[in-house]
Every structure is written in structure tokens, then in C-alpha cells.
Amino acid sequence: MKRILAFVLLAALLLPASGMAETKYMTMREVHDEVASQYPDGWQETIQTKWRAVEINTPVIVPDADKCPVLALQVIEDHPDIDALPGEGWQDETTAAGWVYASRLTTETAPSTKNSEIDSHHFYAPVDLDMVWDGYGGKTLGELLLEGGDSLEAACGGKYSWDMEHPFDVMFNTRTRGKETWTTGLSVSAYQTFCGIPYIHSISDYLTYDINRQNISDPGVLYQIGPFGSVSFVYHPVQSEVMEEDIPLRSFEAIKDALRKEIDAGHIRNILEIRFGYTSANRSKDASDSASVTRPVWHVEAWWCNKGVSEMKQDDPKYPTNSRGKREFVRMIFDAQTGKLISMASDFLPAQKRIKDIGYFQGYLTWEDAKK
């Protein structure tokens, strides 16, 4: 069955009879190589708007993959192979809700936390994998993540994979008592990958309103390592089935153009991260069908204001925020096949106009369609 969206996209994107320039499409490999060669240090530019100069110094993370398939995803029941994990004392605590959870308790005596204050230190993409944190025997973060990835692969028998090289949130917790400070734990959040491409969020996470049930919300992994021997991880086991081997994509330049329009309009004040990946929507409206279908997108994290004349809210000195904690922080997604903004979400954005059936699979543009 030809996909409904293909006809919509053809009408909007392909060469019209009037002789407009033909839309150029690229493979996943070409998009990766484009960004790697032209933006090795990310997108760096100063853009002067009528209100202010906007400094762009943004990492652009693109998976090292050859193709971008369309996949049907489904959460399945599974358990970790704790016998394959390094060390002793592992417990399988997988939940009835389908979350795979395994942990190993502390093997060394940790300092008392009495009269100490806790502090959290967040690091976002691109994370410095060469950083060394007290409490881990001089190992770099990259070495710790490599060990974590090996453990996850052993636990799941290689059935699933996660992008441990590009974690989206790394957090070290510390305790301080007087002049003494020590590390209490490391938490790493990374996206699950399918055919080398990360699944970032379901479509509902980019909307300011509630929609129908979402079959797959967040299949990423949370991996925690304590400096005193404790280790734990939790993830949703998700399997994939190929519906289309490969689909055409727009150049990263199309996404830049769309973002520049938001900057020129006075909305975007800073872009924190641009990452290629998948979102998904439910395969059908049939409640018995628990599968979701992937949609390639560019995930953008930015500071966004409604009006160009508006100034960013200042942090309360008593409660400073990190870059993702600003009131103006938003998550945006752009369709990787059209280059157009789909939606954006934030706790403080006004409700957007509802997009009909946005929570359900609506098709895709094929290579055959693009070449017509």
C-alpha cells in the first residue's frame, strides 16, 4: 500500500511544472558526510537580527549509518542475562510494566552522608569523554561508558544497542561535608539505536497538548555506576521490523534554513543541540496494534521566545538553572524528509494548534517517489 504521506509530500516538494529548482535528496551516508566535512566543530555563526546578535555554536550529531530505514517498533517482554554480567551480586528486578532492570549492590563501604550536602553536575552533548572524575580509579568517562556498553550488550545478548558514545545527559553526584567532597554516583542516559540511528522521543514529547496513547515513549537506557561498587541499569526492550529499507532525506542545509527563519523572526536565542534521529507514531488506531512506526527527524534543543522584543528571563540567584532548565528551553523537531518544523514543546509554551492524527503513522516519501 502506498503511504498516504507520500502523495502529500509529492505535492509540496517535488518539481512543479512552473520550473522551480528540483528538490535535492540525500542518503543517510551523504547527510552524515556532509555534516562531518562542513561542520566538524558544529554550526558556528553569528546571525544579526533586528533586535540582537545571536551566537550559534552548536554541536550537530549525525549517526554514522548508510541508510535510513522505516521501522515498526514494538516493546517486548524480556529479561537480562545476569549470569553474563561482570562481578557478583547482580539481581534481576525487571518490572511487570516491561522495564528491564538489573542491579548490583555496593561492594565497598561508602562514607556516611550525615551532615553533608548533595550536589549534581550535569553534562550534555557533546560530552567530554576524556573527563576524569574522582572516585573511579582514574578512568575517563569514555572508559566508564565503554564498560557500561559492554555490560548492557552482555545483559541483552546483543539484541539491543544504545548510543553510549553520545549520551544526552551525564550526571555526577557529589557530597560535601566541610572541606571534604566525594563522588556518590554517575548516571548516564543514552538513546537506544536501531540500524545505527537513535530513537529520541515519541511524537507526543514534542507537543504542548495530550494526544492518544503512545505505544513507545522512551526506550533509552539509564545506566548508573557508583564509586563503591554499585551498578544498575534500566531500559525498555524494543524490537524492530523493517518496513522500508531506505528513504530519502533533505540536506542539513534545509534544516539550517528553517532554523535561521526562527532566528531571524526573533524567536530562537540559542541552539544547544541538533541531533538526527527517530521519533515515532502509533502504526494504527486499532488499540490491539501495539507497534509504532519511525519517522526521521532533526531534534533541536533551543532557547525560544514568543516575541523578538522579549528578553530572556534572568535566573533567580538563589536557584540558578542549567542550560536545559531555562524557562525558555524548548524541544523542536524538523521533518528530515521535508526540512519543515513539525512541532515544539516546553512547559511554558502556549498550546499549539492541534495537528490532525499527528499521533498516528501517516506515511513517508520513497526513493521511487522522489525520482519522479
Q: Say whether pLDDT at 371 is over 70.
A: yes
C-alpha cell at 97: 510494566
pLDDT tens track for 250-268: 999 999 999 999 999 999 9
Q: Which residues contact 69 (CB under 8 A, 6 or more apart)?
A: 195, 242, 243, 244, 245, 246, 247, 294
Q: Report pLDDT digits (tens) over 103-160.
A: 998 778 888 889 999 999 999 989 999 999 999 999 999 999 999 999 999 999 999 9
Provide the 10 A C-beta neighbour count for residue 174. Answer: 18
- The predicted pLDDT at position 75 comes to 93
Task: Specify the length of the chain in residues.
Answer: 372
At 170-189, the pLDDT tens digits run 999 999 999 999 999 999 99
Whether the per-residue pLDDT at 4 is higher than 70: the answer is no
Decide if pLDDT at 6 tops 80: no
Q: Among candidates 236, 193, 243, which has minimal Cα distance to 71?
A: 243
Q: How many CA within 13 A on the CB side of residue 330?
A: 23
- On whether the CB atoms of residues 185 and 64 are closer than 8 A, the answer is no
| Rounded Cα–Cα distance for residues 277 and 264 (Å) | 26
pLDDT at 52: 97
What percent of the chain stands above pLDDT 90?
81
- Looking at residue 17, its pLDDT comes to 40
CA distance 39 to 274: 12
H/E stretch holding 260 = helix 252-264
Nearest to 268 by CA among 344, 201, 168, 337: 344
Is 372 exposed, middle or buried (CB count within 10 Å of its CB: 0-12, 13-18, 19+)?
A: exposed
Q: Which residues fall within 8 angstroms of residue 138, CB to CB, at 6 or more apart? A: 132
The pLDDT confidence band at residue 97, using thresholds 50, 70 and 90, is: confident
Angle at the Cα of 124 (from 118 to 125), degrees rounded to 5? 160
Question: pLDDT-derived band of residue 169, with 50, 70 and 90 as boundaries?
Answer: very high
Q: Name which of 18-22, 76-80, 98-102, 234-238 the model is least confident about.
A: 18-22
Mean pLDDT, rounded, of the chain: 91
Instruction: Say whether pLDDT at 356 is over 80.
Output: yes
149 phi/psi in degrees, rounded to 5: -65, -40
pLDDT at position 110, please? 83
Give the cell for residue 140: 575517563
Query: Is the per-residue pLDDT at 21 higher than 60?
Result: no
Q: What is the rounded CA–CA span in Å between residue 200 and residue 89?
A: 32
The rounded percent of the chain whose pLDDT value lies above 70 is 94
Distance in Å from the first CA to the final CA of the chain? 18
Each residue's pLDDT tens digit, 304-325: 999 999 999 988 888 888 899 9
DSSP letters spanning 66-100: S---EEEEEE------GGGSSSS-EEE---TTS-E
Q: What pLDDT is attached to residue 202?
A: 95
Residue 84's pLDDT band (boundaries 50, 70, 90)? Answer: very high
pLDDT band of residue 351 (cuts 50, 70, 90) is confident
